[in-house]
Amino acid sequence: MKHFKFLRYRIKAPIIVLLFLFFSLGLKSSDKGYDKIDAFKNGMAKVYRANTMGFINQNGEEIIACRYHFISDFVNNLAKVMIDKKYGFINTKDEVVIPIKYDYIGPFINDLAQVKLNNQYGVINISGEEITQIKYDEIGAFNKNGEAKVRIKRLEGKINCSGEEVIPVYKSTER
């Protein structure tokens, strides 16, 4: 009798280990046509197919098409995506919220993010509106007063959180 109890525990241990690996590391699956399926978070799992990524729901339905070369996890119903080295944001309905056209999009801090396009920088808001022209060679971080240093060639100025030049770049050397 003791021998059978020992077998029962020996069989359960590998099953528990496999379940742990499945949910924590993701699942390789070819039956659904995916190379890899990550663990579910908030009812969705990231899926990978031939160097593209998307998401499925808990029913296995593809809710975000596998067409992105990169896709982040969703934060506040938005995910950063990349196609052909261009970045943008989509919502959980796979609708483009911020156009997939930027060479770089920084993190959103107070609903503002720096963007880079054709080697020039600007600032967008969480809705994707460009609150500054994309014309600067450099933009610093916004300080506690809501201002950031900007630079075009050797000239510096300051912008505020509304995108207005508080100290215009062309006048910054005339102080």
103-175 CATH fold: N-terminal domain of TfIIb (2.20.25)
pLDDT of residue 14: 52
Residues across the chain? 175
Please tell me what DSSP assigns to residue 32.
Answer: T
Whole-number Å distance between alpha carbons of 137 and 154: 9
**Contact by Cβ (8 Å): 160, 146:** yes
Please tell me what DSSP assigns to residue 84.
Answer: T
CATH code reported for the domain at 1-101? 2.20.25
pTM of the model: 0.76
pLDDT of residue 1: 52
Whole-number Å distance between alpha carbons of 173 and 167: 10
pLDDT of residue 84: 97
Numbered ranges of CATH 2.20.25 in the chain: 1-101, 103-175
Digitized pLDDT (tens) for each residue of the chain, 175 residues in all? 555 554 455 555 555 544 454 454 444 444 458 999 999 999 999 999 999 999 999 999 999 999 999 999 999 899 999 999 999 999 999 999 999 999 999 999 999 999 999 999 999 999 999 999 999 999 999 999 999 999 999 999 999 999 999 999 976 444 4
**Contact by Cβ (8 Å): 59, 43:** no
